[in-house]
Amino acid sequence: MTERVVLAYSGGLDTSVAIGWIGEATGAEVVAVAVDVGQGGESLETIRQRALDCGAVEAYVADARDEFAEQYCMPALKANGLYMGHYPLVSALSRPVIVRHLVAAAKQFGATTVAHGCTGKGNDQVRFEVGIQTLGPDLTCLAPVRDLALTREKAIDYAEANSLPIVTTKKNPYSIDQNVWGRAVETGYLEDIWNAPTKDVYEYTATPEFPPAPDEVIIGFERGIPTTLDGRALSPLAIIEELNRRAGAQGIGRIDVVEDRLVGIKSREIYEAPGAMTLMTAHKHLEDITLEREQARFKRTVDQRWTELVYDGQWFSPLKTSLDAFVDETQKHVNGEIRLSLHAGQAIVNGRRSETSLYDFNLATYDEGDSFDQSSARGFIDIYGLSSKVASERSMRLGEVQSTDDVAKLG
């Protein structure tokens, strides 16, 4: 039986050419796998037919938009997943869901190798291959661009020589990856980090300098998951899509960052994530009133580590699974509604309400009805500062400091 290779197929030039290129280089038959994670563009049927026309022996297509929103974007929301405090894991989140379908297709069609279109200097090669090795330990991985020297110039020449049904225009100045959680843009003149992005970089967001009237939205959450928008029950996918439109119209979610890639390179990236950033703003403010202080402090550490693992391609790792359990436990009281004003590039929270809130009006108020016993504060402060006081007295006794000014310098 002829060996088979499963190829992560986008429908574009490089992966269309890779079908024949892999066949010629390895002698294997190619099964194309296309996964819709909300990237827009052509229909899955159009992409499926193109794969077959380009020489694939089988074409596996999957509408994974709801799966992606519910099983990947929502965990990232609960973990406040922002790499380096900026990047909402747009591409990093989509890779594991694509990997799941690649491995499923390999089993279905009897393939022994899984191929992807990543280069040798990016993060995605790691995300794909670590995920494939974890879910399919018996599978091998192939990267035509990296392993078979498939350059874009060779791809264009190959497509034209073989009359492939694919447009072979000059390269877009940008490398773009997008899905329902956001859009990532890099390369071209953006590689000079002094250059400001121009208008043609953006697609999900309008220019915030000339916004429409403010748009007020109320997002309802249950256990950290958004369930309603302005009182309407909607799926996570529908909520993300509507906020992409509404927040995007206000220019919300534009991010310009130089990030630390896993492979050791610093890379300038432009992101658009209007829905994701609006939801993260709302979720964080709801956590602020529903998580106990020490729990919230520790969760920030867990959130950061969770985000780093996902960025580094460790979605299926044991540590990520353990951190998921902690994050999920913290979300049991993250219920309620957050009201935001969307305007001129900002999503500003201006209202919060929750039946599971830890905010106590009578404790917080300075007006009549205050239930906080202020007489307890003096003793609390004495005990709270006791260890520092004792250490300071020792320093003075040993002559390490001569005055209170010197003590302050020690701090």
pLDDT at 318: 98
Active site residue 14: yes
- Is 91 a known ligand-binding residue? no
pLDDT digits (tens, 9 = 90+) for 242-266: 999 999 999 999 999 999 999 899 9
pLDDT range class, residue 365, cuts 50, 70, 90: confident
From 175, 341, 357, 395, the catalytic residue: 175
In whole angstroms, what separates CA 378 from the centre of its chain? 46
Predicted TM-score (pTM) above 0.95: no
pLDDT at 152: 72
Active site residue 175: yes
- Is 385 a known ligand-binding residue? no
- Is 10 a known ligand-binding residue? yes
Domains and CATH numbers, the chain: 4-172 (3.40.50.620), 176-353 (3.90.1260.10), 373-410 (no CATH)
Cβ atoms of 105 and 6 within 8 Å: the answer is yes
pLDDT at 326: 98
Place of tokens 């935001």: 340
pLDDT at 405: 66
DSSP secondary structure letters along 218-263: EEEEETTEEEEETTEE--HHHHHHHHHHHHHHTTTTEEEEEEE-TT
Active site residue 124: yes
Residues making up the chain, counted from first to last: 411
